[in-house]
């Protein structure tokens, strides 16, 4: 837990297995709530792009995809090594 605090990491989740042992009556209530969120359009899946960003001119596009949450994990801008420098 100390690493979570030091690295400013966010933890979100539940221990679902504990419900099946200690609160079996809660499971249908939770699933009904989830189903209502999906039906009402308040809960939606996330689609990520597999777009590849190559070259410094694509940094703007990479940052835009990151801000729109179209990416997962890290965004990497590849810098090609062949050819001459454009500087």
Question: Do 85 and 57 lie in a common domain?
Answer: yes
Same domain, 36 and 71: no
Q: What is the reported pLDDT for 48?
A: 74
Torsion of CA 54, 55, 60, 64, to 10 degrees: 10
Beta pairing partners, 78 = 54
φ/ψ of 74, rounded to 5, equals -100, 155
Question: Residues 1, 40: one domain?
Answer: yes
d(CA 67, CA 61) in angstroms, rounded, equals 10
Domain that holds residue 6: 1-44
Q: What is the pLDDT of residues 23-54, one digit of tens each?
A: 899 889 989 998 999 899 987 776 777 889 99
Same domain, 74 and 60: yes
Same domain, 6 and 40: yes
- Is the same domain home to 53 and 40? no
Q: Structural domain tally of the chain? A: 2
CA distance 58 to 53: 6
On whether the CB atoms of residues 75 and 62 are closer than 8 A, the answer is yes
The answer to whether the predicted template modeling score (pTM) of the entire model surpasses 0.85 is: no
């Amino acid at each position: 837990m100390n690493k979570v605090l030091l690295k400013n990491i966010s933890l979100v989740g539940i221990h679902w297995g504990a419900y099946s042992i200690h609160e079996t009556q809660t499971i249908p209530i939770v699933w009904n709530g989830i189903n209502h969120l999906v039906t009402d359009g308040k809960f939606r899946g996330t689609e990520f792009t597999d777009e590849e960003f190559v070259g410094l001119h694509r940094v703007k596009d990479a940052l835009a995809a990151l801000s729109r949450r179209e990416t997962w994990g890290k965004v990497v801008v590849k810098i090609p090594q062949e050819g001459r420098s454009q500087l």
